[in-house]
């Protein structure tokens, strides 16, 4: 079996995807999203990073982060955020009855999948495509018809800054060629 090797670049910008265990819809109410916000805020206070784009969907998260100069440890941050979320909201979402023997042996919760997806952003076009992908994702997954309808996204901050119009992407995929992942 091939061992996966992650790309670590100090001060790098990355696109990430984290998924809930068995794709369970844990982020379907404001309290779960608030627990995640609190977890992110806590971890950023000790291990800072810039959030360039973010969307929280019912069963997964996409984000684009930029790490500080001289720091490449995004894995630690993601692990700490997942752990802190488990602390804040785990009793509501951890279900030991669906835990596999392997997960029980490692004392893992049933909130998150073990791994996450990462992609190092290579240039400005790659950055823009991933930010667009993050913001369009609620439409892609059919949870809303228009990007602006989804509340758990940095899309709204981008609109406030004049980067996107509120009706950006309408109900279609912007720049479909090479869009997103």
> Which residues contact residue 153 at a Cβ distance below 8 angstroms, ignoring those fewer than 6 apart?
54, 55, 56, 134, 135, 138, 147
Tell me whether residue 152 is one of the annotated catalytic residues: yes
- CATH of 13-123 given 3.30.450.20, 3.30.70.1290, 3.40.190.10, 3.30.420.40: 3.30.70.1290
Q: Where are the alpha helices (DSSP H) in 6-162?
A: 30-46, 74-93, 101-105, 124-140, 155-160
Per-residue pLDDT of the chain (181 residues; tens, 9 = 90+): 556 678 899 999 999 999 998 898 999 989 999 999 999 999 999 999 999 999 999 999 999 999 999 999 999 999 999 999 988 886 665 555 555 445 444 455 568 888 899 999 999 999 999 999 999 999 999 999 999 999 999 999 999 999 999 999 875 555 544 444 4
Total-model pTM = 0.85
Distance CA 43, CA 87 (A): 13
Alpha-carbon distance of 61 to 46, in angstroms, equals 22
Exactly one of 14, 133, 152, 158 is catalytic; name it: 152
């Amino acid at each position: 079996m091939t061992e996966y090797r992650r790309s670590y670049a100090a001060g790098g910008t990355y696109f990430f995807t984290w998924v809930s265990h068995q794709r369970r819809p844990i982020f379907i109410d404001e309290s779960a999203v608030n627990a995640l916000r609190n977890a992110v805020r806590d971890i950023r206070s000790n291990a800072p990073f810039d959030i360039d784009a973010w969307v929280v969907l019912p069963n997964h998260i996409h984000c684009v982060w930029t790490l500080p100069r001289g720091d490449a440890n995004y894995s630690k941050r993601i692990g700490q955020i997942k752990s802190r979320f488990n602390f804040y909201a785990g009793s509501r979402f951890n279900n030991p009855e669906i835990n596999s023997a392997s997960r029980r042996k490692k004392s893992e919760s049933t909130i998150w999948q073990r791994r996450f997806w990462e992609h190092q952003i290579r240039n400005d076009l790659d950055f823009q495509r991933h930010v667009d992908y993050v913001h369009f994702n609620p439409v892609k997954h059919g949870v809303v018809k228009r990007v602006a309808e989804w509340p758990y996204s940095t899309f709204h901050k981008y609109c406030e800054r004049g980067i996107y119009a509120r009706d950006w992407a309408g109900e279609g995929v912007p720049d479909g060629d090479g869009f997103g992942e």
